[in-house]
Structure 1
């Protein structure tokens, strides 16, 4: 009901509906993790009150009925969805709705609580024919937990191995972290985890692709003011050098993203690598020219660094494909000639000191 389009358009009716589900007392402890606490009478306050009321019903239901608790959990999810739809209908400034004072902070706050509710329910025993509901609950948990990838890793490494054979699963149900995970629901858990893992990895690839693309664009923007830095260098040498060193940390991360993408053949990223690599080359040339033409007492050195992954772990140089074999070609022949003439500069792991 909370997601009916006509209802969401009528603020007064929606407010009256939410008012009917307010708890007898609003505990201030509920908002402890929020920076902007909702004000009484605002829509975010009413939504929070309804959420607290439903949360109380959920806690009570988990003591005697898995099915009832599941239905309440779905209602809590609908409440969060209703908030999203409500917020999308009006513009926001400084994190608050210009008309209602509705804080967008309430969404991630309630999502975290929704994930905690789902996790709590997964830790209760269910009937063997509740597989479809377990699937919904698991999706809610993985979709609203603080880190989907971390949760998937924990489930795969620590929780799934706890599943025993069908002969002993009934006997040992109470000793497992998630009693809803048993031989009858094993396929459901594996399917949901697989689908969520693919979704999370796809999102991660998208983020990495954006980092490579816009990382190169940021370097280009930085180089546009390099003439100004060169003029200011005699007076602000230490500050400018520190800024360059900090920027180099980002360029190393971009280099690692490029290498890992080529090693795993992630075409969504590899197609953006040539332009970004040219930007990184220009950055090295500009820094070298700055230190060479300006009497600073600093030296410039380039060499091969150890190959590391994004977690900082040293990996074999064979873990990544050689640039000549990765199928990536520069579109601009002139740039390709420069790459050939200065291969030591375009090394994926160059360093300046």
Structure 2
């Protein structure tokens, strides 16, 4: 399903659609993406985590390259819709951070190969959104804090264990 979602969004961003239709497509895609990422809380097999890491990176990159510029243009006209889309994506981004921590925690080399690329995409998302909101005077819309290291089930991972 990740592959289908990424390919559908790749086709959708390349087609010349009106901005409102693209906004609606991204909103629907992010709802599906949230559900797919959320499935890892229940189905946390190694293969599911691998698929999530690999294809989430592709969707994050598409979002940063194609959706963020469109959202920047539409922020003044449709502030509430744009902020809702960003908040929905932020929920997935936060959980993807936990998936990356889980992959590093179990020390699986094949999973860890995807982590730097995904983290780079998530980082660029955060910085682009922060810059976009600062330019439009909406800095209070998002609060940036430190993420706690958590596993797939939401339990905190201690970063320093005392011996």
Task: Decide: shared fold, TM above 0.5.
Answer: yes
Q: Deviations over 1:259-314 (max 9, x none)?
A: 11111111121011111111111101110111011133635543213332221223
- Note if contact 1:234-1:296 (Cα within 8 Å) is conserved in structure 2: no
Q: Which residues of 2 match residues 1-353 of structure 1 at below 5 A?
A: 204-223=45-64, 224-296=66-138, 298=140, 300-318=142-160
Which segments of 5 or more consecutive residues in structure 1 lack a partner in the other structure?
1-149, 151-199, 320-353
Q: Which has the larger radius of gyration?
A: 1
Q: Give TM-score scaled by structure 1 length.
A: 0.31
- Note if contact 1:237-1:296 (Cα within 8 Å) is conserved in structure 2: no
In structure 2, what is the Cα distance between the partners aligned to 1:296 and 1:257?
Answer: 29
In structure 1, what is the Cα distance between the partners aligned to 2:48 and 2:143?
Answer: 32
User: How many residues end up aligned between the 2 structures?
Assistant: 119
RMSD across aligned C-alpha pairs, in angstroms? 2.2
Runs of 4+ residues deviating >3 angstroms: none
Indicate how the Cα distance of structure 1 residues 287 and 306 shifts in structure 2: closer, same or farther if over 3 A, else same. Answer: same
> Which one scores higher on RCO, CA 8 angstroms, separation ≥ 6?
2
- Note if contact 2:53-2:111 (Cα within 8 Å) is conserved in structure 1: yes
In structure 2, what is the Cα distance between the partners aligned to 1:306 and 1:273?
Answer: 17
- Note if contact 1:206-1:268 (Cα within 8 Å) is conserved in structure 2: no
In structure 1, what is the Cα distance between the partners aligned to 2:62 and 2:155?
Answer: 31
Q: By how many angstroms is 1:317 displaced?
A: 2.2
Select the structure that is richer in helix: 2
- Between 1:299-308 and 1:243-252, the stretch displaced more is 299-308
Q: Deviations over 1:176-217 (max 9, x none)?
A: xxxxxxxxxxxxxxxxxxxxxxxx98xx11110111111111
- Note if contact 2:130-2:139 (Cα within 8 Å) is conserved in structure 1: no
In structure 2, what is the Cα distance between the partners aligned to 1:251 and 1:236?
Answer: 23
In structure 2, what is the Cα distance between the partners aligned to 1:301 and 1:225?
Answer: 21
Which segments of 5 or more consecutive residues in structure 2 lack a partner in the other structure?
1-41
